[in-house]
Amino acid sequence: MDASTSELPLFPPLQANRSGMLPVDDLHTLYWEECGNPRGVPVLFLHGGPGGGISPRHRQFFNPEYYRIVLFDQRGAGKSTPLGEYRDNTTQLLISDIEALRAMLGIEQWLVFGGSWGATLALAYGQAHPQNCLGFILRGIFLCTRAEIDWFMYGMRWFFPEAHAAFVAPIPLEERGDLLQAYKRRLFSDDAQVSLQAARDWSRYEGHCLFLKPQPEMQQVLEDDVVALGVGRLEAHYFLHHGFMEEDQLIRNLDRIRHLPAVIIQGRYDAVCPPVSAYRLHEAWPQARLQIIADAGHAALEPGTAAALVAATEQFRLQQGFT
């Protein structure tokens, strides 16, 4: 591991206290884990993607003496099975999965922490079940609008032309007018090798656009076949269905969670989820605190962003009266 990742301002590594597999229907089984203080304030970590999965480092945003930290791989991601499965995989079903996990663990309310697609899901979950939320820590805002999806497919080339050129290269000229449909045909091909290669190409493209300063080792994580299959297939699936939400639904429904404390943390040079979405969210939700990180891109594991996320979890802890 390079110095930039080993010296991040996170809490020390910790082991899961317990973990398991939760069947949520006849097709999907979710991997979950819990760490930290079993009697602490519950916090739910929602990973990005869709399809990105969790990693041990995600446990380290939270003080383990005070938080009961719950993490899980969403449908089709990480250790959940089947990997990359897009059938019976919608935002509404993910929300029901969160509720099933909460009920299984006997948790009444929790702090909801999510970045990128995890922030999208956090907002959608909170708006569906505000009574079960203590507050929100949101990073790298993605509202799943048509403009944001179009930006991902085409706009990032303005900043990462070489990465976009590599993303487009496998697609014949006559199909490049609709890259999402072109990738759909390959990602969901009956030929497993065609599907895997398309997933690798998709995930590599995103990985090259995540950071303000290149982090080759972290980019390689996204090129792992398990991560690539989850990210490539499920991001395309959710993009094709506009996140299974109406346009601007997350902005229109903010009144349902406006009363809850929230922090919005956004990298100034986020090329994947540009700051305009965080700004729009804050304009519609001025009660939430917006923090722009001047020297960061999209990834949570950039020094300024990681520090802000840890500070936000600590501030919430202190506001809850834990010292």
Q: DSSP characters for 161-198?
A: HHHHHHHHTTS-GGGGGGHHHHHHHHHT-SSHHHHHHH
Q: Is 116 a catalytic residue?
A: yes
Q: How many residues does the chain have?
A: 323
Query: pLDDT band at 5, cuts 50/70/90?
Result: very low
Q: Which of 242, 276, 291 is the endpoint of a domain? A: 242
Q: Are residues 95 and 190 in the same domain?
A: no
161 and 135 together in one domain: no
Domain span including residue 93: 3-146+245-319
| DSSP result, 40-81 | SEEEEEE-STTTT---GGGGGGS-TTTEEEEEEPPTTSTTSB
pLDDT at 217: 74
Residues 6+ apart with CB under 8 A from 105: 34, 42, 70
Task: Give the pLDDT confidence score for residue 215 in this predicted structure.
Answer: 80
What are 57-116's pLDDT values in tens digits?
999 999 999 999 999 999 999 999 999 999 999 999 999 999 999 999 999 999 999 999
Which of 187, 222, 242 is a domain's end point? 242
* Per-residue pLDDT at 319: 84
In whole numbers, what is the pLDDT of the chain averaged over residues?
A: 95
The one catalytic residue in 208, 270, 277, 282 is 270
Q: Mark whether 105 and 251 lie in a shared domain.
A: yes
Looking at the fold, whether 16 and 69 belong to one and the same domain comes out as yes
What does the pLDDT read at residue 8?
84
Q: What integer is the mean pLDDT of 248-273?
A: 98
Residues 209 and 308 in one domain: no
Total domains present in the chain: 2
Q: What residues form DSSP beta bridges with 81? A: 29
Q: What is the pLDDT of residues 158-170, one digit of tens each?
A: 999 999 999 999 9
Q: Within 10 Å of residue 23's Cβ, how many Cβ atoms?
A: 11
Q: Is it the case that residue 322 has pLDDT exceeding 70? A: no
**Three-class DSSP category at 263:** strand
Do residues 183 and 299 share a domain?
A: no
Task: Report the C-alpha gap between 187 and 183 in whole angstroms.
Answer: 6
Domain boundary (195, 225, 242) is at 242
pLDDT over 60 (residue 6):
no
Nearest CA to 155 out of 200, 205, 89 is that of 205
State yes or no: is 270 an active-site residue. Answer: yes
Q: pLDDT-based confidence at 1, cuts 50/70/90? A: very low
Catalytic, out of 116, 195, 203, 277? 116
Looking at the fold, whether 138 and 283 belong to one and the same domain comes out as yes
Q: Are residues 41 and 132 in the same domain?
A: yes
Residues 21 and 142 in one domain: yes
Give yes or no: 298 in active site.
yes
Q: pLDDT tens, 127-159?
A: 999 999 999 999 999 999 999 999 999 999 999
For residues 65 and 187, state if they share a domain: no
For residue 277, what is the domain's CATH number? Answer: 3.40.50.1820
**CA 119, 125, 127, 132: dihedral to nearest 10 degrees?**
-120
Lowest mean pLDDT among 107-116, 210-219, 283-292: 210-219
Distance of CA 3 to the CA centre of its chain: 24
On whether both 118 and 256 belong to a single domain, the answer is yes
Both 213 and 305 in one domain: the answer is: no
